[in-house]
Chain A
Amino acid sequence: DAKTTQPTSMDCAEGRAANLPCNHSTISGNEYVYWYRQIHSQGPQYIIHGLKNNETNEMASLIITEDRKSSTLILPHATLRDTAVYYCIVRVDKNSGYALNFGKGTSLLVTP
């Protein structure tokens, strides 16, 4: 199973772009990169996922390097409510379903 490496914590000023990096150098060709976030006292929330191409939705953008060994989650205009722990996960297929292995994530603090 591919593992991910993320910085333990990051700060970002409100209104600026937050760029959260993730390394997944052992990722295999059919594994997706998922991003979730967890706001204090809540369950994790899905943000975005991708395989090879860059992806964008209403919450964020996901940039995956050409060799797929790393990716960056971009929150284009961070707000105080984006303060959360962000998890970068490589999907693991197990039997008919799949299980996501959450690491420790990056604790993002958005400051006024």
Chain B
Amino acid sequence: DVKVTQSSRYLVKRTGEKVFLECVQDMDHENMFWYRQDPGLGLRLIYFSYDVKMKEKGDIPEGYSVSREKKERFSLILESASTNQTSMYLCASSNLRGYTFGSGTRLTVV
């Protein structure tokens, strides 16, 4: 079964920490995405990548960066975590047919 795997289901970090959220897909998809989901706001696109070492800003990139060194792996980086980055983070990969999402990482910044 094809999969998008996010390394952690739950994560608690302290304010100011550097946080890495990892995402791996096994479908050889070109495109990968990071979203965050908050109550009442739906899913909002943070960054996406359409090729290795390529990245594009989404709607809310501030406070985040990404890394795509290999096709199957797309990392989201919080350079200095803040409490307003407490959220559910969802990774996805896609081909032209559609998206496959991971199960999400619930990050709490204290």
A-B contact count (CB 8 A): 61
CA distance A103 to B42 in the complex (A): 6
Q: Please tell me if A42 contacts chain B, counting CB pairs below 8 Å.
A: yes
Q: Which residues of B sit under 8 angstroms from A104, Cβ to Cβ?
A: 40-42
Beyond A43-B92, A94-B56, whether A99 also contacts B101 by CB under 8 A is no
CA distance A34 to B7 in the complex (A): 28
Q: Which residue of B lies closest to A102 (CB)?
A: B43
Question: What distance in Å separates the Cβ of A10 from its nearest Cβ neighbour in chain B?
Answer: 16
Question: What distance in Å separates the Cβ of B39 from its nearest Cβ neighbour in chain A?
Answer: 10
Q: Please state if B43 and A96 are interface contacts (CB–CB under 8 Å).
A: no
Question: Could you say which of B30, B41, B90, B103 contacts A97, with CB atoms under 8 Å apart?
Answer: B30
CA distance A97 to B35 in the complex (A): 16
Q: Which residue of A lies closest to B30 (CB)?
A: A97
